[in-house]
Amino acid sequence: MTQSTQSRSESGLILPSYRRDEGSHPPLDFAGYGSTALRHPKQPLQLLPQYLTEVTGPLLGHDRVGETDHDLTVQHDGEPLGERIVVSGRVLDSGGKPVPNTLVELWQANASGRYRHSGDRHPAPLDPNFSGVGRCMTDGDGNYRFVTIKPGAYPWRNHDNAWRPAHLHFSLFGQAFTQRLITQMYFPGDPLFGQDPIFNSVRDPKARERMISRFDLETTVPEWALGYRFDIVLRGTEASVFEDEEEDDD
Amino acid sequence: MAAESLETTPSQTVGPFYALPDGLLWPDGPDLVPEGTAGAVPLHGRVLDGNGDPVPDAVLEIWQADAEGRFDHPNDPRPGTSGGFRGFGRCGTDPEGRFRFRTVKPGPLPTPDGATEAPHIDVTVLARGLLNRVVTRVYFPDEEQANATDPVLGAVDEDRRSTLIAVADQDGLRFDIRLQGPGETVFFAL
């Protein structure tokens, strides 16, 4: 064993270590997004070592996913209104390895920008044929695929004339507690990016771009649906120079 | 060959609408063990903001070892890992900011450097207004001795340690989470 992907104990306990990635994420305190004001911890976060609880995680499986859960357009008797889209991509870790057989959850507003939720007061129509909830598992290569409709933008009261850009919420687990991620997927060229504090809370412009999907002709279904690609990267284990040799040692 | 290096996708808020019908909140989400399980512990509490007001639109996720201190997971290399214990729970808060799980107390855990962790549960808090999840831990009030030598608790300022230890009450174990302000819960960076 050379170095650093793993640490060994006297008792022989060897655990992987997941790379830190704080450079990607927004700060918990972001003045532009009003709801952070009373909800961000003011005390510094304490560094948690990556022990057993942190390097393991729920491996939620196929029993959580129904046959039509990946297709939000077939969950009701009729078809939902709006622009049909296919959203597909890969879930990878920061080492470039696919994350296979992991649960991906998606939720979103309908084409008119309204969620099927009692708390949504936006006076836009609900669609009886759209719930806005999807689930799928990545395959052995980390691929996922959803069929849905493009969500509408909607107003919220964060600031004067505030509108959320169209977005899909994504939930991912990866393989370990350290890898848990909730994010939002945006659409290319959205005119609302400039005024949205949730999107802009991610301070690094390159990191913001990683939340924008890419229109992809290959992903379209001819005469039926437009296609977008959205790859999602979770934290990976620390790579060491000698990783290949270490793997050989196993 | 050097491994490819990719930057991670940024976190965003879960928003208030994670609670869509049939969405993130599964019917069995808060129950890690079936009703009537021997040793089952109700773990309940409230999520409060910097004014001490309830946070009605949070979702909590917990992750823990089983009663023997085992994880059914390939990253737990010890022999005899537990079969079937889900170890994962998810619960939304109600209008008063309350949550409730039914679980069992996990066993103690070894660390790679030879220490022993006291029984604990890892907690993720997601909510509108949280641009990234925050993470904390629940420790158990009847484990005074194990808590005293726990390497994670031991690194926390003594006057804040109590924010990580549940309190026994008539309904089970209470663990209140204060996102900000007096008695702010200790949160961790992973």
Is pLDDT above 90 for B24? yes
Is pLDDT above 90 for A7? no
More reliable by pLDDT, B81 or B115: B115
> Residue B9 and residue A198: Cα distance in Å, rounded?
14
> pLDDT above 70 covers what percent of chain A?
91
> Residue A16 and residue B173: Cα distance in Å, rounded?
32
Average pLDDT over residues B76-83: 82
> How high does pLDDT run on average in chain A?
92
Phi, psi dihedrals of residue B163, rounded to the nearest 5°? -70, -15
Inter-chain CB proximity A38 and B151 less than 8 Å: no
Torsion, Cα of A131, A174, A46, A239 (10° steps): -150
Inter-chain CB proximity A46 and B156 less than 8 Å: yes
* Beta pairing class for A103-107 and A167-172: antiparallel
Asked which of A15-29, A231-245, B168-182 is least confident by mean pLDDT, the reply is A231-245
Of residues B2, B16, B184, nearest to A43 (C-beta): B184
> Residue A48 and residue A241: Cα distance in Å, rounded?
25
Asked which of A135-144, A174-183, A241-250, B47-56 is least confident by mean pLDDT, the reply is A241-250
A68-106 tens-digit pLDDT: 999 999 999 999 999 999 999 999 999 999 999 999 999
Is pLDDT above 90 for B91? yes
Q: State the ipTM, two decimals.
A: 0.97
Burial of B51 from C-beta contacts in 10 A (0-12 / 13-18 / 19+): exposed
Give A130's contacts (C-beta < 8 A, 6+ positions apart).
A72, A75, A76, A80, A81, A82, A110, A111, A116, A149
Phi, psi dihedrals of residue A208, rounded to the nearest 5°? -60, -40
Which of A39, A114, A170, A250 to mutate to test binding with chain B, by most B CBs within 10 Å of its CB? Answer: A39
> pLDDT above 90 covers what percent of chain A?
88
Chain B residues close to A250, C-beta within 8 Å: none
Any catalytic annotation for residue A51?
no
Chain B residues close to A182, C-beta within 8 Å: 11-14, 126, 133
Is pLDDT above 70 for A65? yes
Is pLDDT above 70 for B145? yes
Inter-chain CB proximity B7 and A207 less than 8 Å: yes
- Asked whether the whole model's pTM tops 0.90, one would answer yes
